[in-house]
A = this chain, B = another copy of it.
Amino acid sequence: MAVFMNLDTTRAFAELRRYAEPPRLDTLLNAARVRACEVPMGGGLSFNWAACPIDAPRLAVLKALAAEMELIEKFRMIAKGEEMNPGEKRMVLHHLARGELAGPVVRAGRDYRAFYEGERRKIAEFAKAVHEGRIRGSSGKVFTTVVQVGIGGSDLGPRALYLALERWAKATGRFKLAARFISNVDPDDADSVIAQIDPAATLFILVSKSGTTQETLANENLVRARLAALGLDPAKHLVAVTSETSPLAKSPNYLASFFMDDYIGGRYSSTSSVGGAILSLALGPETFAELLTGAHEEDLLALEPELERNPALLDALIGIYERNVLGWSATAVLPYAEPLARFPAHLQQLDMESNGKRVNRFGEPVAYATGPLVFGEPGTNGQHSFYQLLHQGTDIVPLQFIGFRENQMSADILSEGSSSRAKLDANLVAQIVAFAVGKSDTDGNKHFPGGRPSSLIHGERLDARALGALLAHYENKVAFQGLAWNLNSFDQEGVQLGKVLAKKVLAGLDPAASGVEGALGAYAALLGLPSAGVANAARG
């Protein structure tokens, strides 16, 4: 059994801290290094770390850190179904939704790989029946649109993946149903989506593991009311993705129920039924299966003992050096691919909700920085926006570039002697080198200090398999960083207090109260909420 320890108690970290300054990227970076720093990933992708602030001595210390902290052994504990979410006393099984990494996981007579695979097959059958028109809306219309109703992990991941593959599915003849998403409790979200679709031809997927998510239940009520007002039978237009024990499970109010469980957290659920239902319905079950294949290929590499062949572990440890030794507090994700427009928003949740923690897995405060702030927008758009700060700001932000050789749609145009695709990739290449090397100028305003590191994930084309590998890479990177920081990356106690106080506001506040309750009441008054509580006001 591996020993869990804080990062700052290790010999290797003490050694790493001796490298308090990054190596000079302008002397480090050259063509040979670019070719040498290629690491194969799943799905035909590669991870290139040539422009990262890691030279041979630093790499040796990262290897020592991985060994001393037994990071791969701990990752294997996840894969084997150990209780790696100690706060909630749960296994962590999202990898099993793609395939077995370390043999079967069987608990209380349930084989979990078989369970997840069984749900995937149920979804595939259901999706086929919808595509073939055997399952239709209550007025007899064939379904042409599918709407996911969920929030957080039930929204960001599936939405990012759908957008990433929508064009590709259309170009390759796989496209089945248009997908839309309702997440925010702001009723302007749901009503705006409903105004843009034909409800009679729309299937809604309710996604809530517990069946008690406030926003999702409110939006379900809204959707049911709108359907009923049109004379449609809501029970013929809704399916549920939920846990077997939730009030939504096997209810006659749904056309079908597909299951998830407590061993796959929301932000890791895109490859479970949570992503499976919407992606199989919109883009076909084969597309979803290929996504899982790519993810599984990438997962297997996370167990690779040699650091230079383990892209997630390498990416993770480079990030630890940047965060905990160099003191850089944010990471930008910059996909040069418009279809990945919302992928950074998914990674923002994945990373910040997993590792934005101040206590270790035993509940003790740690004395080092943990999860960074993650943000990003597609290139080249970002170049005309926040790149000014990235190039010449007073803080250094490590960058994660993503790029492809080919478009998803076949069309392109020549303009000034080059295609738009060539312009896109030329800009990507130029930015990596500009950030790393900079450019001296006696005019301070035109001086680029350089020394701004980046990695590059690249591949032939963004298809379902490549996307699965990309998704799994970041999941595994985040898991490795959580292990290095000795965190529980799989709970999220930090979201609870806000929920409790929101319920308090809705239930009613004493207008004469002082302290916390008084402050809540004063803010509630600014927003026009009745001080006696909304529920009471509705009852009264």
Contacts and interface: CB of A to CB of B under 8 A. Distances in A.
A284 to B, nearest CB: 19
Contacts of A385: 152, 156, 345, 348-349, 352-353
Identify the interface centre among A348, A378, A415, A420: most chain B CB within 10 Å of its CB: A420
Considering residues A152, A155, A218, which has the most beta carbons from chain B within 10 angstroms of its beta carbon?
Answer: A218
Copies assembled = 2
Interface residues of A, number: 166
A386 B167 contact: no
Interface string A429-471: 1111110111100011111110000001010000000000000
B330 A498 contact: no
B497 A434 contact: yes
Contacts of A384: 151-153, 155, 215, 266, 349, 495
B330 A381 contact: no
A305 interface: no
Contacts of A191: 167, 409, 411
Interface stretch (A66-74, A198-206, A249-257, A519-527): A519-527
B378 A186 contact: yes
A447 B358 CA distance: 9
Nearest to A150: B384
B381 A184 contact: yes
Contacts of A48: 526
A152 B383 CA distance: 8
Given A34-B523, A518-B30, A534-B417, A381 B183 contact: yes
A502 B427 contact: yes
B418 A524 contact: no
A412 B218 CA distance: 10
Contacts of A189: 338
Interface in A166-217: 166-167, 170, 183-192, 195, 214-215, 217
Given A339-B188, A502-B426, A538-B414, A433 B349 contact: no
Nearest to A391: B494
A366 B353 contact: no
B447 A218 contact: no
A192 B340 CA distance: 13
A225 B387 CA distance: 31
B352 A421 contact: no
B526 A34 contact: yes
A365 interface: yes
Contacts of A414: 221, 538
Contact of A389 (B166, B356, B527): B356
Interface string A403-430: 1111111011111111111111111111
A373 B415 contact: no
Contact of A188 (B337, B397, B488): B337
Contact of A330 (B373, B403, B444, B526): B373
Contact of A348 (B29, B386, B420, B505): B386
Interface string A30-61: 11111100100000001010100000000000
A371 interface: yes
B491 A445 contact: yes
A373 B375 contact: yes
Nearest to A183: B381
A9 interface: no
A528 interface: yes
Contacts of A392: 356-359, 493-494
B386 A430 contact: no
Pick from A412, A414, A433, A456 the residue with the most CB of B within 10 Å. A433
Contacts of A445: 87, 359, 363, 488, 491, 493
A380 interface: yes
Interface in A9-38: 29-35, 38
Contact of A456 (B388, B393, B444, B523): B523
B387 A418 contact: no
14 contacts: A30-B518, A50-B519, A184-B381, A187-B420, A188-B408, A221-B414, A349-B384, A352-B385, A353-B389, A383-B498, A416-B535, A429-B523, A433-B516, A445-B493
Given A353-B388, A387-B495, A418-B534, 11 more contacts: A183-B381, A184-B424, A188-B339, A219-B420, A329-B330, A358-B444, A390-B494, A405-B527, A417-B535, A425-B527, A430-B501
